[in-house]
Amino acid sequence: MNDVQMSRRRLIASATAAGFAIAGAGTYFGRSGSNPAFAQDEVAADATPVALGPAIPDEFNVETNWPYENLDLSATRSARGSTISTSTISTLGDAWNFPISAGAAFGSLTANPTVVDGVVFVQDAAANIYALKADTGETVWANMYNDVVPSGGPNGTANAYGMVFSTIGGVGDVIALKSDTGEEIWRTNIQGPLREGITTAPLVYNSIVYVSTIPGHSEGFYAGGQRGLIHALDAASGTVIWYLDTTTDNLWGNPTVNSGGGFWHPPSVDEEGKIYVGIGNAAPYPGAEGFPFASSRPGDNDYANNILKIDPSTAVMDWHVNINPADPFDLDNQLTPVLAEVDGRKVVFTSGKHGYVVCLDRSTGELVWRTPVGTHKNDDRRDFPDPNEVIEVWPGTLGGVETPMAYDATNNLIIAPVYELASWYNGTEFDPDHPFDFTIATGLVVALNATDGSVAWRTQTATGPLAGLTIINDVVLSGGLDGVVFAYNIADGSEVWKYQLPVGINAPIAVSGDWVFLPGGGPLIPTAATNPTLPAGGPGLFALNLGGTVQATWTAGEAATPEASPESAASPEAGGTGEAMALNAVDIAFQPNTMTIPAGQDVTINFTNMGQLPHNFHVDELGVASSDLESGASEVLTINAAAGTYQYYCSIPGHKDAGMVGTLTVQ
Ligand SMILES: [Cu+2]
């Protein structure tokens, strides 16, 4: 697999170490389209779920619970039972924090925490699950799986019927645990035949667990033939009741090159028990050797980038709508659909990396309205006469609407977080002359009138709001990799509160009553909005409550510098005889990213990882490679090279794609 084709679903990618057990494909009962990849395809379905309780698990009926990723079965992310509002949020302050350092390729935390009956459940980016008392942070239990999760997440937990459901995605396991002890009740492996793993948090409804495989595993994504399958499992036993292929039988005409499908965020459920889910993309993107610009997969590429409405009793779709057909640019419809009743009409809002918010009639799938958010440029291109053309595409591969939206029934608003960063492509890969530069990413929060999709307000953010959106009464919360968590007045988008984490935030926020749980585990990439005086601390779960210790606010200005910032952003032209050169890794770049050294003599390089993520230093042509350095670690390297120009890069999966490259000139 070409590593530039790796998915960049969030600011996460497939992770570092290999070496976990490779499990066999799961046992499949039943129904789906006939899929030549699966030998057991024609096995009859006779598994009937055992009722564990009411269709809507009791956990959903407690206002101060946050039982699954997007809060309620309509996925509104609009918290109930809280007194946090524009008039009280100034007293929201620190209560406790729980350090979580998973050492995954793109940070420790990518999942939305869940909260049930005064206990917070959080899964880190290595699949470990912690149960913490919500008021003290005291550990109730912790299950350490230390898996290398495909794409590092999003991951997450779902609480239902007194249990916690989750996944260990690298090995393809779905697990059910006792809520109070963490004791495992069952474990089912659904890994696909090409090691397709799991990246989603589950949905649990009507005694059934919904999860999906995705076209990749912990070492890479989008090998030819990999496809994502939705699975429905009996919540009592873990038995697979059905699965549904989200691609077509011949994988859009070329199963040796193409791959795609699967869901990354759990489904939502309507009053009739029908399931709504957004599906990931088609690959390869933008193309593959010999197949530039998606020419290996002519046609619409269903069900990539679709929203599906599924009858779970038959595993048959009531309807499906392809939101971004024949997509060459990784612009998925990956988010959980949001359900609402607007002016008496039952509708569903769907969105994703394509950067459109789309409103459909729930009974028919008919389009009600469709509104672009953020910058759009060349994303609708489908004609590519020159296979070597370099194209700037907005939204880029990180979105668009990368992270969850939220719906406010009171003000009739569907609100979208928008990540603003282009991707540059040639026919087969990201253009090497335009690597990712997260320091120039910006963002928007856009509130749309749910009736007609018109813009009610839009507010620019200093970086992309990767924390998604969470509504509490009349405020909407988000945050990003600059570590700034902010609250906007839902009436007009004006900022009413902000808070500085010591790390970036790359996971959605949970609320329980007057408590807010911030999963702060992303790399810190400061912007002009970042507090120049960062609070001490590292990645973890940060609990704030009304009446907690209020953080001093600050005036935005010059871009802040991370505490661990290199003093030696040093001397790219240094490197004479006997003089050691300083090279630093930061998140996610080298400083400097150009170095010049003399030819034919030993040059010593002091390589230090100043970032929070693991990094390394590789020059393939010279056979030079550091070990993987944890945050704060250093290694001395010696290079003796002939004159020439060499590329150096970090080989942690995803980091090179993220722009972690430099040029070494030897003269
Ligand atoms: Cu790296």
Could you tell me the pTM of the whole model? 0.87
- pLDDT, average across residues 433-456: 93
pLDDT value of residue 559: 57
Residue 65 has pLDDT above 90, yes or no: yes
Residue 576 has pLDDT above 60, yes or no: no
For ligand 1, the distance from its centroid to the CA atom of residue 418, given in whole angstroms, is: 25
For ligand 1, the distance from its centroid to the CA atom of residue 148, given in whole angstroms, is: 16
User: Cα-Cα-Cα-Cα dihedral of 397, 286, 337, 315, to 10°?
Assistant: -150
Choice among 85-99, 129-143, 191-205, 623-637 with the minimum mean pLDDT: 623-637
- pLDDT, average across residues 419-440: 91
For ligand 1, the distance from its centroid to the CA atom of residue 395, given in whole angstroms, is: 24
Residue 635 has pLDDT above 90, yes or no: yes
For ligand 1, the distance from its centroid to the CA atom of residue 615, given in whole angstroms, is: 3
Distance CA 177, CA 168 (A): 12
Confidence of residue 31 (pLDDT cuts 50, 70, 90): very low
Distance CA 60, CA 465 (A): 27
pLDDT value of residue 37: 39
For ligand 1, the distance from its centroid to the CA atom of residue 652, given in whole angstroms, is: 5
pLDDT value of residue 579: 67
Say if CB 450 and CB 441 are below 8 A apart. Answer: no
| Ramachandran angles phi, psi of 488, nearest 5° | -110, 150
Helix (H), strand (E), coil (C) string for 14-81: CCCCCCCCCCCCCCCCCCCCCCCCCHHHHCCCCCCCCCCCCCCCHHHHCCCCECCCCCCCCCCCEECC
For ligand 1, the distance from its centroid to the CA atom of residue 617, given in whole angstroms, is: 8
For ligand 1, the distance from its centroid to the CA atom of residue 239, given in whole angstroms, is: 39
Residue 432 has pLDDT above 90, yes or no: no
Residue 8 has pLDDT above 70, yes or no: no
- Amino acid at residue number 571: S
pLDDT value of residue 14: 25
Angle of CA points 104, 105, 106, to nearest 5°: 95
Return the CATH number of the domain spanning residue range 581-666. 2.60.40.420
- Intrachain domains 19-546 and 581-666 with the same fold: no
Question: In the numeric block, which tokens belong to residue 567?
Answer: 């003093």
Question: What kind of fold does domain 19-546 have according to CATH?
Answer: Methanol Dehydrogenase; Chain A (2.140.10)
Long-range contacts of 627-630 (CB under 8 A, 24+ apart): 628/16, 628/652, 629/585, 630/103
For ligand 1, the distance from its centroid to the CA atom of residue 586, given in whole angstroms, is: 8
Distance CA 184, CA 262 (A): 26
pLDDT tens per residue across span 316-356: 999 999 999 999 999 999 999 999 999 999 999 999 999 99
For ligand 1, the distance from its centroid to the CA atom of residue 613, given in whole angstroms, is: 7
For ligand 1, the distance from its centroid to the CA atom of residue 625, given in whole angstroms, is: 13
For ligand 1, the distance from its centroid to the CA atom of residue 549, given in whole angstroms, is: 35
Distance CA 456, CA 492 (A): 8
- pLDDT, average across residues 79-89: 98
Angle of CA points 534, 609, 574, to nearest 5°: 110
Say if CB 328 and CB 321 are below 8 A apart. Answer: no
Distance CA 129, CA 125 (A): 10
Counting residues of the chain whose pLDDT is more than 70, the rounded percentage is 89
For ligand 1, the distance from its centroid to the CA atom of residue 281, given in whole angstroms, is: 26
- pLDDT, average across residues 349-366: 98
- pLDDT, average across residues 422-446: 92
pLDDT tens per residue across span 605-633: 999 998 878 899 999 999 999 999 988 89
DSSP string, 342-403: ETTEEEEEE--TT-EEEEEETTT--EEEEEE-S--BBTT----S-TT--EEEBSBTTBSS-S
| Ramachandran angles phi, psi of 221, nearest 5° | -125, 155
Confidence of residue 504 (pLDDT cuts 50, 70, 90): very high
For ligand 1, the distance from its centroid to the CA atom of residue 430, given in whole angstroms, is: 18
For ligand 1, the distance from its centroid to the CA atom of residue 665, given in whole angstroms, is: 21
Residue 655 has pLDDT above 90, yes or no: no
Say if CB 393 and CB 254 are below 8 A apart. Answer: no
Burial 464-483, CB ≥16 within 10 A → b, else e: bbbbbbbbbbbbbbbbbbbb
pLDDT tens per residue across span 516-573: 999 999 999 999 999 999 999 999 999 999 999 999 999 876 655 544 433 333 333 4
pLDDT value of residue 218: 86
For ligand 1, the distance from its centroid to the CA atom of residue 607, given in whole angstroms, is: 12
For ligand 1, the distance from its centroid to the CA atom of residue 653, given in whole angstroms, is: 8
Residue 577 has pLDDT above 60, yes or no: no
Question: In the numeric block, which tokens belong to residue 487?
Answer: 């609250």
For ligand 1, the distance from its centroid to the CA atom of residue 529, given in whole angstroms, is: 25
| Ramachandran angles phi, psi of 419, nearest 5° | -95, 125
For ligand 1, the distance from its centroid to the CA atom of residue 628, given in whole angstroms, is: 8
CA quadruple 345, 60, 144, 100: dihedral sign: positive
Confidence of residue 19 (pLDDT cuts 50, 70, 90): very low
For ligand 1, the distance from its centroid to the CA atom of residue 647, given in whole angstroms, is: 14
For ligand 1, the distance from its centroid to the CA atom of residue 622, given in whole angstroms, is: 19
Residue ranges of domains in the chain:
19-546, 581-666
pLDDT value of residue 558: 61
For ligand 1, the distance from its centroid to the CA atom of residue 473, given in whole angstroms, is: 40
Q: What is the mean pLDDT of the chain?
A: 89
pLDDT value of residue 286: 97
For ligand 1, the distance from its centroid to the CA atom of residue 614, given in whole angstroms, is: 6
